[in-house]
Amino acid sequence: MGALSSKYIPKTLLSRRLPEFSGPRETGDSSVPVARYLTDGPLQSAVERYDPPAFLAPASYERHVQSDGSLTWELLTYSVWRDRVLREPDLGLVPGTERRYLRLPMEPAPPPT
């Protein structure tokens, strides 16, 4: 463990207290395993449950989902957010929130309140 390594002090202290601590090692990139989640994990039915964003051609959406493309996670989370937050009429504003609207060219306007 060099002086410039990530978390040098906690790792040094841990290796002194627990000799079996492996010390420096390669770690993952902390990304979500989108491919596994979509094929046999908790997101199996999410693609069918949520409509694709209106600003993306259906063929493009399918291509991203089938190939687990780099935008798959972002497209899916946008669709979930749109349906569960943006379009939820019973979801009130947090006190102090300022109401602003950003409408994408193909998205319908939000309902007036």
Residue whose C-alpha is closest to residue 90's, from 104, 111, 107 = 111
Helices (H), 68-112: 72-81
Q: What is the pLDDT along the chain (113 residues), one digit of tens a residue?
A: 455 667 778 878 888 887 776 666 666 666 777 778 888 888 888 888 999 898 888 888 888 888 776 688 888 889 999 999 888 888 887 888 887 777 777 766 667 76
Residue 3 is predicted with a pLDDT of: 54
- What is the enclosing helix (H) or strand (E) of 8? helix 8-17
Q: Is 66 inside a domain boundary?
A: yes
User: What total of structural domains would you count in the chain?
Assistant: 1
Q: Is 20 inside a domain boundary?
A: no
Residue 79 is predicted with a pLDDT of: 92
Residue whose C-alpha is closest to residue 77's, from 40, 21, 39, 38 = 38
Instruction: Output the pTM of the full model.
Output: 0.56
Residue 1 is predicted with a pLDDT of: 47
Q: Is 81 inside a domain boundary?
A: yes
Residue 100 is predicted with a pLDDT of: 78
Q: Is 16 inside a domain boundary?
A: no
Give the separation between CA 42 and CA 90, rounded to whole angstroms.
26
For residues 86, 92, 98, 100, the Cα torsion angle rounded to the nearest 10 degrees is 20
Residue 107 is predicted with a pLDDT of: 64
φ and ψ at residue 84, rounded to 5 degrees = -95, -15
Rg (CA), the chain: 22
Give the separation between CA 31 and CA 39, rounded to whole angstroms.
16
Q: Which two tokens stand for residue 79?
A: 């669709």
Q: Is 46 inside a domain boundary?
A: yes
Place of tokens 């009130």: 92
